[in-house]
Amino acid sequence: MALVEYNPFRGLDRFFDQFAQMASGDSRLMPMDLYRDGDDFVARMDLPGVDPSSIDIDVHDNVLTVRAERKANDVKHDEHSGWVSRERSYGSFARQLSLDSSLDASRITADYTDGELVLTIPVAEEAKPQKIQVTQGQHRAVTVGTDESDASEQKAETSTDAKAAPEPMGPSEPEHHN
């Protein structure tokens, strides 16, 4: 039997690789870097000159949408003034990311500093590998009843049924008689 290492990020890695392969022909697309940092995915988006109050981020149906707006500079136009070159993009910007169900959209954080928006997208606790502790020879007692008369009846039942076989936890197998 071959063992295959479980990687909860495999689907996310494939998804984010798509963005690395895309060539951005749209000057209004926010350039973005995506990487994994432990149990988080980090998206860094360039938004220079954007007023932080114009940034809108929401998640709906596992789609994260980032919107922002950069206002154009007003330049006086007359016979002595005007644009010589205008290469920077202005207006509304938007970017959408489809989030895998193994990410925790309710705990996404966003920070905008020096023209860069940083989104931290944590992996959901349910999607993280879980360690199960194994115990040996420990049984938990179950108390039945709420008053002393019930407890004394339980003690009597327990002492008479002490040699009874434990109940099966799964489907029972047919008994074989020889």
Which range of 69-73, 127-131, 151-155 scores highest in mean pLDDT? It is 69-73
| Poorest-pLDDT segment among 40-44, 72-76, 153-157 | 153-157
- Encode pLDDT of 105-126 as tens digits: 999 999 999 999 999 999 887 7
CATH 1.10.760.10 matches 27-75+86-127: no
- Encode pLDDT of 82-92 as tens digits: 878 888 888 89
pLDDT at 13: 62
CB atoms within 10 A of CB 125: 10
Alpha-carbon span 123 to 8, nearest angstrom: 9
- Encode pLDDT of 13-70 as tens digits: 655 555 544 444 444 678 999 999 999 999 999 999 999 999 999 999 989 999 999 9
- Asked whether the beta carbons of 8 and 127 are under 8 A apart, the reply is yes
pLDDT band at 163, cuts 50/70/90?
A: very low
- Is the full-model pTM beyond 0.75? no
**Domain ranges across the chain:** 27-75+86-127
